[in-house]
Chain A
Amino acid sequence: MSKLKFASVWLGGCSGCHMSFLDLDEWLFDLADLVDVVYSPIVDTKDYPDGVDFALIEGALANEDNVEVAEEIRAKTKVVASFGDCAVSGNVTAMRNPLGDPRKIIEAVYVDAVDRDPVYPEREGIVPPLLPKVLPVHKVIDIDYFIPGCPPSAAEIRRALETLVSGGSGHAVNEDIRPG
């Protein structure tokens, strides 16, 4: 039997969920027997391939690039999971939302608060513009599975991956859906 194609991606988050994924330690060898990691921050592939079986999305949608990546993943993946609180709810990434217009926040940080060379970081095609509001991933694409936690513990990630690898959905353990 051919291995399942597994991908993970890091959008508007801190990479803590991927660090927690690496906390799976030796179970990663077992996972490697079952899946090919076809796209991830931990492998050197630039383009998201077609026909991915399941993908974990870490991070919220904070800018236009995040939205494009999420839409591409949805189009090319059978089962997509929101991985961690930022993807599930916006979490820390979305804490800018009550502050309003993101341009004002960037100005406060990169223009008003600096002593020399204040510049608004902006270049078309290079720096993706921020969305007016940070969004949980399921606000833009359909999500099949939610893995809350900041970060989800390695044990929770393992239970989720075991479910995804076996083609299941839903949650067996209620404690696995605890945010924070």
Chain B
Amino acid sequence: MPERRTAVPVTFDGEDFEAYDDESVLQAARRNGIAIPALCYLEGLSVWGGCRVCVVEVAEDHRLRPACATPVKADMEIKVHTPRLDSYRKSILELLFAEGNHVCAVCVSNGRCELQDTAVEVGMDHVRYDQQAPARKVDASHAKYVFDHNRCILCTRCVRVCDEIEGAHVWDIAERGAGSEIIAEMDVPWGDAKSCTWCGKCVAACPTGSLFYHGKAVGEMEHSADIIRVLASARGKGEWLSPEVSL
């Protein structure tokens, strides 16, 4: 309800900006043209706050907070870039790369990948941590889509979009810690998941080359995460049949 929003002053890295009191720090930053890298956040979905790439510092206590899950408050002094924040973001990206099997050169999303773009954005030129090289599976059982778990960063966008927008809740997370993985239904091959409507929203939302269409070769897979924002707001506005909306 735009008319009930209250504009409040905030600062980003010392510069004055206007934010709304119903926004998160990340939303306010992006609306003001300030880039804060983020991976698990996707406009239109609920906030997960899991990747921690959007971490910022708030002057009142210098604690680190995820910008996506921090509500704006009046007179908030927000730091986006400090040596500490920049180094933490880089470390997080390195940990993500070390955790899975991310081989850009042979990936369907090479050159069109949010993980790759974010690594470049935060200045990651190599990974200091030991590569875990986990043995993960590739689920190609679905007739239309493939799930390569090697490239999954567990952002849960697929879980959330399937549950919250499509209403099917095919996906969820199984196991814990380093053993965590996305499963279909009660851990069945995707092709056997009867609740899957083949809508493709999980594929559209995926920030990496983990979810893709059968038949896509290196660098050919283009995700369309922005479509989720359109779908989410279209539902509220009753615009389901907008001709621009197609998956």
Contact = CB atoms under 8 A, between A and B. Distances in A.
Interaction A to B: yes
Interface of B: 97, 101, 103-107, 110-111, 116, 119-121, 123-128, 130-131, 133-136, 150
A179 B104 contact: yes
A174 B133 contact: no
18 contacts: A88-B126, A89-B97, A92-B103, A92-B105, A94-B103, A94-B133, A95-B101, A97-B131, A98-B135, A133-B133, A139-B130, A143-B126, A148-B125, A177-B125, A178-B120, A179-B105, A180-B107, A180-B110
Interface string A145-168: 010101000000000000000000
Nearest to B134: A98
Interface string A63-106: 00000000000000000001001001111101101111000000
A99 B105 CA distance: 19
Interface in A9-32: none
Contact of B131 (A94, A171, A178, A179): A94
Contacts, number: 71
A136 interface: yes
A97 B134 CA distance: 8
- B interface SS class: loop
A98 B110 CA distance: 21
Given A95-B103, A178-B120, A179-B116, A100 B135 contact: yes
A115 interface: no
Nearest to A143: B126
A138 interface: yes
Given A97-B101, A171-B125, 10 more contacts: A92-B105, A94-B103, A97-B133, A98-B134, A133-B133, A136-B126, A171-B123, A175-B120, A177-B124, A180-B116
B104 A180 contact: yes
Nearest to B218: A180
